[in-house]
């Protein structure tokens, strides 16, 4: 993704590093979803796994910054065989959230993590990507058989007394949202998940999704005028950074942006970022969709 070099682009400062992300599986995934914004696949090695030491070093550095919570993403985080020890170590510092496709979970990992969560006092959340309440909606996007595999993962999480958050990328018309949500609640109840947590997310029109459907129009950019009076907390880059094996990046969406890398250490990566990209426009419209947004309500004053 090249920098469009828009003249006079608004820049956003990072005033408070609240969330630290770990691109823990790089761009490596067991699935090849047709809408993936960073085109993850079994063979995409643009970004590689993080090591336990890399995560621990960043955790220690994050304390100085007063980081509030930690997110683990990829690719599929559970492909990284060190994920369980990494999460256990993270829970010594604060709450953690894993963004997973739910297809490779093992009961022994979840038992270990559940015990670690109980001991730490902080929450361990799982955001499971399932793009609809039925295979007919999900599988054309995420691959044959993935709905059934993901749902088994969701059931396994519920069996271990986790309360997974199901995130669905919306590939249907807005008018169907209520019906889709109800259908998914019914599916979850049948699995024994009685406290459904469901979120519908917008598509990010970059990476594989740009080829599947369409990219952003040139007009879909944030302007200075749009920033006037806008609550900047709605933009992830205002309060987050991402640790990758290639350095610290601005957000988990813009890994392929030419200016996405902010520095080699957290301390080097706190400078402002130009909001040049179409994906920035989606973040502007919908809020920081990658995070547990209910923990970050809109500013009241």
Partner 1 sequence: MKLALFGGLYSNYLALEVAIADAQQRNVDAMYCLGDLGAFGPYPDRVFPLLRQHEIICVQGNYDDSIGNELNDCQCGYTDPDDNHFAQVSYDYTLQNTCADNKAWLRGLPKELGLTVDGLRLLLCHGSPRRTNEFLWQSTTSTAFLNRLADERSADLIIGTHTGIHWQRELRDLRRYVNVGVLGRPENDGSTNVWYTVLRTGSDADSDALPCTANGGAIPVSVDFVPVAYDYELLANEMRREKLPDEFIQTVMTGWWTTCLEILPSRERRVGKF
Question: Min. distance of Cβ 69 from partner 1 in angstroms?
Answer: 6
200: phi then psi, degrees, rounded to nearest 5: -100, 125
Are 36 and 27 a contacting pair, CB within 8 Å?
A: no
d(C-alpha 75, C-alpha 41), whole Å: 7
- Binding residue for partner 1, selected from 125, 141, 242, 248, defined by CB under 8 A: 125
Structure token pair of residue 204: 């990010």
The H-or-E segment that residue 69 falls in is strand 69-73
Residue 229 lies near partner 1 (rule: CB under 8 A)? no
d(C-alpha 201, C-alpha 168), whole Å: 6
Residue 192 lies near partner 1 (rule: CB under 8 A)? no
- Binding residue for partner 1, selected from 123, 171, 183, 223, defined by CB under 8 A: 123
Question: Min. distance of Cβ 298 from partner 1 in angstroms?
Answer: 6
- Binding residue for partner 1, selected from 1, 12, 18, 44, defined by CB under 8 A: 18
d(C-alpha 289, C-alpha 168), whole Å: 11
Are 102 and 61 a contacting pair, CB within 8 Å?
A: no
- Binding residue for partner 1, selected from 122, 159, 170, 263, defined by CB under 8 A: 122
Site string for partner 1, 39-58 (x = CB under 8 A): --------------------
Give whole-number Cα distances, 288 to 37, 65, 152, 244, 293, in Å: 15, 20, 28, 20, 7
Residue 188: which of 150, 223, 145 has the closest Cα? 150
Question: Min. distance of Cβ 46 from partner 1 in angstroms?
Answer: 30
Question: Min. distance of Cβ 19 from partner 1 in angstroms?
Answer: 10
Q: Which stretch binds partner 1 (CB under 8 A): 41-49, 138-146, 156-164, 238-246?
A: 156-164
Q: Which stretch binds partner 1 (CB under 8 A): 46-54, 81-89, 116-124, 147-155?
A: 116-124
Instruction: Provide the binding-site residues for partner 1, judged by CB under 8 A.
Output: 16, 18, 62-63, 65-69, 93-95, 117, 121-125, 161-163, 178, 181, 195, 197, 199, 233, 292-301
């Amino acid at each position: 993704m090249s920098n469009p070099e828009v003249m006079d682009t608004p820049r956003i400062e990072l005033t408070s590093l609240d969330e630290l992300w770990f691109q823990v599986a790089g761009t490596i995934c067991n699935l090849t979803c047709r809408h993936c914004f960073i085109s993850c696949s079994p063979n995409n090695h643009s970004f590689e796994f993080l090591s336990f030491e890399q995560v621990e070093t960043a955790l220690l550095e994050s304390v100085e910054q007063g980081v509030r919570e930690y997110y683990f993403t990829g690719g599929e985080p559970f492909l990284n065989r060190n994920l369980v020890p990494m999460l256990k170590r993270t829970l010594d510092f604060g709450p953690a959230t894993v963004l997973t496709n739910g297809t490779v979970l093992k009961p022994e990992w979840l038992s270990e993590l559940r015990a670690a969560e109980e001991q730490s006092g902080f929450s361990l959340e799982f955001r499971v990507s399932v793009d609809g309440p039925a295979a007919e909606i999900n599988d054309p996007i995420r691959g044959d058989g993935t709905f059934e595999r993901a749902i088994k993962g969701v059931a396994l999480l519920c069996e271990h007394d986790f309360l997974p958050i199901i995130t669905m990328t919306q590939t249907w018309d807005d008018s169907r949202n209520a019906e889709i949500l109800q259908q998914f609640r019914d599916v979850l109840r049948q699995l024994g998940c009685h406290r459904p947590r469901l979120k519908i997310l917008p598509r990010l029109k970059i990476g594989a999704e740009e080829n599947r459907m369409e990219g952003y129009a040139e007009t879909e950019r944030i302007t200075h005028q749009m920033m006037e009076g806008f609550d900047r907390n709605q933009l992830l880059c205002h309060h987050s950074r991402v640790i990758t094996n290639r350095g610290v990046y601005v957000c988990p969406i813009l890994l392929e942006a030419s200016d996405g890398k902010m520095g080699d250490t957290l301390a080097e990566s706190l400078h402002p970022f130009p909001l040049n990209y179409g994906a920035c426009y989606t973040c502007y419209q919908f809020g920081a969709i990658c995070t547990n947004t209910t923990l970050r309500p809109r500013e009241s004053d």
